[in-house]
Structure 1
Amino acid sequence: MSDLPEFTIRVDQNPYLPAGGREMHAVITVEAAGAAGAPPPPSGTEAAEIILVDTSGSMSYAGKMAAAKRAATAALNVLRDGVHFAVVAGANQPRMIYPTGERLVRVSDKTRKGALSQVKRLEAAGGTAIGSWLRLADQLLEPYENAVRHVILLTDGKNQHETTEDLDSALAQCSGKFVCDARGVGTDWEVAELRKISSALLGTFLDVPDPHDLEDDFREMTQASMEKRVADVALRLWTPQDARLRFLKQMVPTVEDLTGRGKASGKQTGDFPIGAWGAEEREYHLCVEVPAGDVGRQMRAAWVKLIVPGTPERTLASGNVLAEWTDDEARSTQINGRVALHTGQQELAAAVQEGLEARRKGDEDTATARLGRAVVLAAEVGNEQIAGLLDRVVDVIDPETGTVRLKKGVAKADEMSLDTRSVRTVRTRQGDPGTGG
């Protein structure tokens, strides 16, 4: 464990509440040292990687199968020597492409060459049953519980050949076992489905409308996985007696609600899994409802620790969220800038998703109102990419009031990009996070 990066926690908040006030907000920034130009993980960092490629019949169209082969090749070429790996084809049932037999092998010149040879032979046939693919990945990764476990999942279609219950059951089985980054190529897959998969498995998901973009994307995902140095990290949250957690949401790099994922770990503490880490920075928006206090009273509203579970358990960093009651209105009404920004990001993601859903259902009034609100919020949080994507879906009549008109004949790829990227966050020029990706 001595090769772990150095972790720090920073808390941004306005600790002042009015007399009787109860709701305390804070932004928790977690950083692992070396975010800029960090050295690669030591060779002793165990990792297990599975490349899971949809080979259903629809992949034979629009150059998707050829692009998937190039993408898998790119991923294989950046795997570190010694990493355990496999390539799996997904259709009605998953099928081992490399190695033979349901197992992982270590990367070497020989095994890499063997895998590259088998990838060239991939062919498209059959249906889509993603839950069964994930169950095989879970089985393959089971012997490597101390390794950084990562799956790349590529699909081009809906999960048509198993039930929703089958997929949900598979996600419940796999949750906490590995991180899965999901990619949808083309425009025939379901945004909500991939969002559900990546959310349950603590990964990312993204649309890839042009198959030619898969190669670079797979290379980047695999490289990021190879740079992870610790497999499982959790945020441990302590709250005072009679306090209530309103929510805990990851905000950077993506908007992800973690509130329901906490597991009791002691008196007044809960642990929230946040996956594998390398040299990186993430931000979380915490809201705690505390017992009302009198003017002058001070208290700890929450205590946040970063831990590596196991025996022995390891504490990596900690930070305090404070509360102080005041009769100074100027102090108690001031909203912390980062809290305000993240509140705007959450509302922006919701407005985009609700607006697009209303548009799909033919509810033009709701769609116009929500997407108009998204236009206003995109400007407020300084997100030019989401603003640009909104411009492909609505005609903006007045950006300040959010007066818009729905466009006719919107390209499906543009709608999917806006939906998919509504939860992704990037750094703005001011160094603050904004929504997009």
Structure 2
Amino acid sequence: MTEFSATVFQNEFLPVGATDAHAIVGVTCSGAGRAGHSGAGDAAEVVVVDISGSMQVPGRMRAAQDAAVAALEQILDGTWFAVVAGNHQAYLAYPVRPLESWMSRMSPTTRAEAVAAVRRLEPAGGTAMGTWLELTGRVFATVPSAAQRHAILLTDGRNEHETRSELDARLATVTGAFQCDCRGIGADWEVGEVRRIAQALLGTVDLIPTPAEMPAEFERLMRAAMARGVAAAELRVWTPQGAQVLFVRQVAPEVEDLTARRTDVNPLTGGYPTGSWGDETREYHVAVRLAAAREVGSEQLAARVQLAVGGEVRAQGLVKAMWTDDDALSARISPEVAHYTGQTELAAAIQDGLAAKAAGDEGTATAKLGRAVQLAAATGNDEATARLRKVVDIDEAATGKVRLKQAVERLDEMALDTASTKTSRVRR
């Protein structure tokens, strides 16, 4: 049986006159089961493969085919699935001759047919990822029973055959229709562009440095998708009359700002989509500005944070505020709030620093990446520090004193960029 639990980490004591309450809310899911087996609806998967001309790089198309096959091998029997191939257009590579639905149920027969279809793919043409997403959305729409809709998208190049506004318009039509994990192969794709797609579709973005690594990554992604037995869940935040939600952010395992995704559950409660769940823990930073400060000794419920599945509340945590004139109490900073505030700033510093470096602004790049080194050291994010060392020479991590390296491999910059939103857990 699937169970959710919530834990709140905060310093509930506020100084006289203060109105802002911050908390980290950890939500844990256990017993999630398998995708499509919870009784809440079917699961559906689409594998989206780049077949543009740039995939003609020796070994790349074959590796992409191997990766798609590895993903197909992990899809559970009975799951709806399809394969989309994309260049400057999008094609339904499998099912080859769809009837009522543009998807097939996975079985030994359909798996073999899909593998054969993938092996027939040949690279040619340009790149227009918006068309791939648009077709993927139409494919999912042909199976109304699919409550859990997930795609894996692979690309190796820039989106050169549609404008940014065209991509954004097509992306807007599928936002909320399915989740999508995006992966880029090689050094010729734009991290920011693919990240925008992944964030809009509640997915992840990452770099696959070499073709040989593609099959294992696709196998891992699809195995994880099949282990998400909860099709969709919503984080709900209730606040008292007159209060303002400053932001709601997922801060672990990755940074994802959910604030703009709010929909009103009722006049005092906002709902924030979190997508499908497996057996895992995610942590959220919730910040609330109360209508007014209260007298010393007063206590107020600042927020009620809930995890709901199918409209049913499955877990709840309370964010409290208590006013005090004792500086020793109000000055304490919750270790969890401090840690994840630093991790969020770290992600922004890395992305801003790399953008400044690409624009030729070495002063800003040095300052931002120096700050990133400082934050990574302070929060114990050793992985980020190791990636930063490939881009800057670190003279003094504690103060953020760095020098830009003169010769940096583009793959190292891309690896730093794609990993910037991955956070380290707080050490409790």
TM-score (normalised: structure 1): 0.94
> For 1:262-317, what per-residue CA distance to the aligned partner results, in whole angstroms no more than 9, with x for missing partners?
011212111111111121111111111112111111010001111124xxx32111
Alpha-carbon distance change, 62 to 422 in structure 1, aligned in 2, over 3 angstroms: farther
Q: Does 1:69 align with 2:65?
A: yes
CA distance in 2: counterparts of 1:145 and 1:295, whole angstroms: 55
CA distance in 2: counterparts of 1:300 and 1:273, whole angstroms: 23
Counting only pairs closer than 5 Å after superposition, residues 204-243 of structure 1 correspond to structure 2 as 204-243=204-243
Counting only pairs closer than 5 Å after superposition, residues 117-196 of structure 1 correspond to structure 2 as 117-142=116-141, 143-144=143-144, 146-196=146-196
Q: Does 1:413 align with 2:414?
A: no
Query: AA paired with 1:276?
Result: S
Q: Does 1:57 align with 2:40?
A: no
Give the structure 2 partner of residue 293 of structure 1.
294
Q: Would you say the 8 A contact 2:95–2:103 is kept in 1?
A: yes
1:39 to partner: Cα distance: 5.5
CA distance in 1: counterparts of 2:314 and 2:169, whole angstroms: 33
> For 1:189-227, what per-residue CA distance to the aligned partner results, in whole angstroms no more than 9, with x for missing partners?
111111100100000010112121111110010001101
- Give the SS at the match of 1:231: strand
- Give the SS at the match of 1:147: strand
CA distance in 2: counterparts of 1:72 and 1:171, whole angstroms: 23
> For 1:389-433, what per-residue CA distance to the aligned partner results, in whole angstroms no more than 9, with x for missing partners?
1111111112221111110111000011111101012447x4x6x
Q: Would you say the 8 A contact 2:8–2:25 is kept in 1?
A: yes
Q: Would you say the 8 A contact 2:253–2:425 is kept in 1?
A: no
Q: Would you say the 8 A contact 1:231–1:277 is kept in 2?
A: yes
Q: Does 1:16 align with 2:17?
A: no
Q: Of residues 384, 387, 392 in structure 1, which corresponds to 2:385?
A: 387
Alpha-carbon distance change, 62 to 331 in structure 1, aligned in 2, over 3 angstroms: farther
Alpha-carbon distance change, 341 to 356 in structure 1, aligned in 2, over 3 angstroms: same
- Give the SS at the match of 2:131: helix
1:10 to partner: Cα distance: 0.9
CA distance in 1: counterparts of 2:349 and 2:294, whole angstroms: 35
1:31 to partner: Cα distance: 0.6
Unaligned runs of 5+ in 2: none
> For 1:362-401, what per-residue CA distance to the aligned partner results, in whole angstroms no more than 9, with x for missing partners?
1111111111111111111111111111111111112221
CA distance in 2: counterparts of 1:373 and 1:27, whole angstroms: 23
Alpha-carbon distance change, 62 to 424 in structure 1, aligned in 2, over 3 angstroms: farther
Give the structure 2 partner of residue 357 of structure 1.
355
CA distance in 2: counterparts of 1:241 and 1:397, whole angstroms: 50
1:231 to partner: Cα distance: 1.6
CA distance in 2: counterparts of 1:161 and 1:255, whole angstroms: 30
Q: Would you say the 8 A contact 1:156–1:188 is kept in 2?
A: yes
**Cα root mean square deviation, aligned:** 1.5
Q: Does 1:115 align with 2:114?
A: yes
> For 1:42-68, what per-residue CA distance to the aligned partner results, in whole angstroms no more than 9, with x for missing partners?
746521000000000001104211110
Give the structure 1 partner of residue 4 of structure 2.
7
CA distance in 1: counterparts of 2:272 and 2:324, whole angstroms: 32
CA distance in 2: counterparts of 1:394 and 1:135, whole angstroms: 40
1:261 to partner: Cα distance: 0.8
Q: Would you say the 8 A contact 1:179–1:203 is kept in 2?
A: yes
> For 1:316-341, what per-residue CA distance to the aligned partner results, in whole angstroms no more than 9, with x for missing partners?
11111110001111110100011010
> For 1:67-101, what per-residue CA distance to the aligned partner results, in whole angstroms no more than 9, with x for missing partners?
10110111111110000001111111111111124
Query: AA paired with 1:141?
Result: F
CA distance in 2: counterparts of 1:200 and 1:42, whole angstroms: 23
Q: Would you say the 8 A contact 1:131–1:171 is kept in 2?
A: yes
CA distance in 1: counterparts of 2:71 and 2:321, whole angstroms: 48
CA distance in 1: counterparts of 2:275 and 2:36, whole angstroms: 19
- Give the SS at the match of 1:408: coil
Query: AA paired with 1:397?
Result: D
1:147 to partner: Cα distance: 2.3
Counting only pairs closer than 5 Å after superposition, residues 266-345 of structure 1 correspond to structure 2 as 266-290=266-290, 291-309=292-310, 313-345=311-343
Give me the identity figure in percent: 48
CA distance in 2: counterparts of 1:338 and 1:145, whole angstroms: 40
Query: AA paired with 1:58?
Result: S
Q: Of residues 68, 76, 80 in structure 1, which corresponds to 2:76?
A: 80
CA distance in 2: counterparts of 1:328 and 1:84, whole angstroms: 60
CA distance in 1: counterparts of 2:38 and 2:365, whole angstroms: 52
- Give the SS at the match of 2:67: helix
Alpha-carbon distance change, 357 to 403 in structure 1, aligned in 2, over 3 angstroms: same
CA distance in 2: counterparts of 1:423 and 1:23, whole angstroms: 25
Query: AA paired with 2:307?
Result: L
Query: AA paired with 2:422?
Result: R
CA distance in 2: counterparts of 1:208 and 1:347, whole angstroms: 25
Alpha-carbon distance change, 276 to 145 in structure 1, aligned in 2, over 3 angstroms: farther
Query: AA paired with 1:49?
Result: E
Counting only pairs closer than 5 Å after superposition, residues 37-56 of structure 1 correspond to structure 2 as 40=34, 43=37, 46-56=42-52
Q: Would you say the 8 A contact 1:145–1:177 is kept in 2?
A: no
CA distance in 2: counterparts of 1:216 and 1:424, whole angstroms: 20
Give the structure 2 partner of residue 435 of structure 1.
none
Q: Would you say the 8 A contact 1:10–1:28 is kept in 2?
A: yes
> For 1:79-134, what per-residue CA distance to the aligned partner results, in whole angstroms no more than 9, with x for missing partners?
10000001111111111111124500000110001111111111100111111111
- Give the SS at the match of 1:392: coil
CA distance in 1: counterparts of 2:35 and 2:373, whole angstroms: 42
Alpha-carbon distance change, 89 to 41 in structure 1, aligned in 2, over 3 angstroms: closer
Q: Does 1:90 align with 2:86?
A: yes
1:144 to partner: Cα distance: 3.4
